[in-house]
Amino acid sequence: MKKILAGIGAGVLFFALSLPFFTIPHAMTIAIVALLVTLWTNEALPLGVVSLLPIILFPVFGILDTNAVAANYSKSIIFLFLGGFMLAIAIEKIELHKYFSAKLLSFFPKTARGIIYALAVTSALLSAILSNTTITLMLMPIALFLSENIRLKVRFLLATAYGASIGGILTPIGTAPNLILLGFLEEHRLPIMTFGGWMLLMLPIVGLMLLIMPYILSLGVSSECVEDVKHEAARLNSEQKRLYGIIGLLAFVLVANTFMKQITGVALNEKLVLLGFGLLMFVPKIGFLTWDDTRNLPYEIIFLFGAGFSIAAAFISTGLAEEIAQKLHAVSSLPLLGMFIVVALFVTFSTEITSNTALTSIAIPIFYEFSKYMPETQSAMILMVATVAASYAFMLPIATPPNAIVMSSRIISIKEMAMVGLKLNFIGVAVLSLVAYFIWRLML
């Protein structure tokens, strides 16, 4: 109960602090968001319960009517994610993810640096298509088993957690902020990237971060050998081979669709493609799931998307996003690279103390209002910088589930995570800003 009262207290405090600068409806919107963020952070109520509160709170306080809020929980972009989760559950059910992780681990040298790179790359690639929480839970026992040296254990665990956060940005379904951005673009009839187009833009960032982050973690321990690393991939059974083939076919369709859009301007609806392949998992003799398996679908995350879209809608409809954007007007006089750096720094360090989904839901409408009079490509890049920066939460355990999971091992201290994470935050901002300025401008 104390945690719920803390959430209410946070709402009242932010309402009082906002009144001198904003109208009452704006201050009330800020207060409700503060309440939601506090309840998400202190886990006073289950994630799904807190995520459904906007359906009650926004109408009660006159921010949005019930129909306007409820519509955010069934946006078509959510079904892209739903299809991806069905595939992910199938992969976990027949243990194909264990094959992938063992295969990837086997490619790297058995030195400390080699294992750090192996864990980071494995975690990143699997987190691009599976829940970063699931992947961190799956790889943490491996990271703990590989050495008795505490220093190495710390580096291995951090590589696993950070790799999961970095890899999540690689695909549209990799992490919640990506879906929030795509839903916002769709809502406002702005150009939406294909699955493959998104990956092409994110690949330089993920690639550079996966070169730099493990290198930093391996400083001082790079030459130490790691004994008894035995993670050879077993042979695929018939079910795993079938799913492997289906995933290969999906990858081909998505890549072909990207090229088709570039050449002809016409493409398949990828929400239907992902949902279609997800539903294929239930077809007898083709798929691997029964309806009982849907109990493992993370409905609370789907509700979280709805809450995120609702917050964004509230910021837009009340004019709060425009009001905040006007207060940030001075930033618009900066050169484009300077704007990227300021936006990335603001979001990166803000997301350390709050849910990256909630922060993205708040930041995207603000920066949309801030940038909507700029050329369309510049506006899109600012929104994407804000979205990617929300995944750069490396300093604190409360910032992201992978950080919290490896902290639960009781091997890592908050001081150690914060020291390494601070460096990676600044490196992440630099990499993101430079890639956006020098590469995205050529591709968008």
Q: Which of 13-17, 276-280, 292-296, 380-384 has the lowest mean pLDDT?
A: 292-296
- Angstrom distance (rounded) from CA 444 to CA 373: 17
Query: Which range, 51-65, 212-226, 291-305, has the best average confidence (pLDDT)?
Result: 51-65
Four-residue CA torsion sign, 50, 14, 72, 61: positive
Taking only the tens place, the pLDDT of each residue in 334-346 is 899 999 999 999 8
The predicted structure's pLDDT at residue 441: 87
Cβ contact 55:353 at 8 Å? no
CA atoms of 430 and 420, how far apart (whole Å) = 16
Give the contacts of 419 (CB within 8 A, at least 6 positions apart).
none
pLDDT greater than 70 at residue 76: yes
- Count the domains in the chain: 1
Torsion sign, CA atoms 149, 151, 153, 159: negative
Q: Tally helices (H) and strands (E) across the chain.
A: 22, 0
Cβ-Cβ contacts under 8 Å for 44 (sequence gap 6 or more): 3, 4, 6, 7, 38, 50
Q: Has residue 30 been placed in a domain? A: no
The length of the chain is 444
For residue 34, tell me if it sits in a domain.
no
Q: Looking at the predicted structure, is the pLDDT value of residue 180 above 60?
A: yes
Of the chain, the percentage scoring pLDDT greater than 90 comes to: 28
pLDDT of 429: 96
- For residues 180 and 33, give the distance between their C-alpha atoms in angstroms, rounded to a whole number: 16
Neighbours of 296 (CB within 10 A): 14
Choice between 148 and 210, residue whose per-residue pLDDT is larger = 210
pLDDT tens, residue by residue, 211-234: 999 999 998 876 666 654 455 556
Q: What is the pLDDT of residue 354?
A: 65
Confidence of residue 130 (pLDDT cuts 50, 70, 90): confident
Q: Taking residues 290-304, report their average pLDDT.
A: 82
Q: CA 213 to CA 224: how far, in whole Å?
A: 18
Is residue 223 assigned to a domain?
Answer: yes
Compute the distance between CA of residue 121 and CA of residue 205 in angstroms, rounded to an integer: 13
Q: Any idea what DSSP says for residue 63?
A: S
| 36 assigned to some structural domain | no
Beta-carbon count within 10 A of 260 CB: 15
Please report whether residue 55 resides in a domain.
yes
Q: Tell me, yes or no, whether 10 lies in a domain.
A: no
Contact 124, 207 (CB under 8 A): no
Q: How many CA atoms lie within 13 A of 82 on its CB side?
A: 21
Average pLDDT estimate for 18-28: 90
Instruction: Give 225's strand partners.
Output: 111
Residues 6 or more apart whose CB falls under 8 angstroms from that of 269 comprise none
Residue 282 lies in a domain: yes
Sign of the dihedral defined by the CA atoms of residues 214, 217, 221, 227, in that order: negative
- Percent of the chain exceeding pLDDT 70 equals 95
Q: Tell which residue, 181, 173, 188, 130, has the closest CA to residue 357.
A: 181
Do residues 378 and 359 make contact, with C-beta atoms less than 8 angstroms apart? no
User: What would you measure as the largest C-alpha separation in the chain, in angstroms?
Assistant: 66
Neighbours of 419 (CB within 10 A): 11
Burial readout 371-405 (b: 16 or more C-beta within 10 A, e: otherwise): bbeeeeebbbbbbbbbbbbbbbbbbbbbbbbbbeb
Asked if residue 70 has pLDDT above 60, the reply is yes
Q: Say if pTM beats, i.e. exceeds, 0.75.
A: no
Mean pLDDT of the chain: 84
Is 380 within a domain? yes
115's tokens = 């294992």
Q: Which residue has the higher pLDDT, 309 or 354?
A: 309
Question: What does the pLDDT read at residue 397?
Answer: 73
Q: What pLDDT band is residue 360 in, cutting at 50, 70 and 90?
A: confident
Query: For residue 398, what pLDDT is reported?
Result: 64
Q: Quick one: average pLDDT of 14-36?
A: 90
Domain residues for the domain of 423 are 46-442
pLDDT score of 63: 92
- Asked if 103 contacts 72 with a C-beta cutoff of 8 angstroms, the reply is no
What is the crossing angle of helices 2-18 and 24-42, to 10°?
Answer: 150
pLDDT at 340: 94
> How many Å apart are CA 266 and CA 155, to the nearest integer?
46
Please state, in angstroms and rounded to a whole number, the distance separating the CA atoms of residues 53 and 237.
45
Dihedral in degrees, nearest 10, Cα atoms 111, 126, 135, 246: -130
Can you tell me whether residue 352 is helix, strand or coil?
Answer: coil
Give residue 212's pLDDT.
97
Task: Summarize pLDDT for 374-425 with one digit per residue, the tens.
Answer: 888 888 899 999 999 988 889 877 677 788 778 777 788 878 888 899 999 9
Dig out the tokens for 311 from the structure: 């917050």
Cα 32 → chain centroid: 23
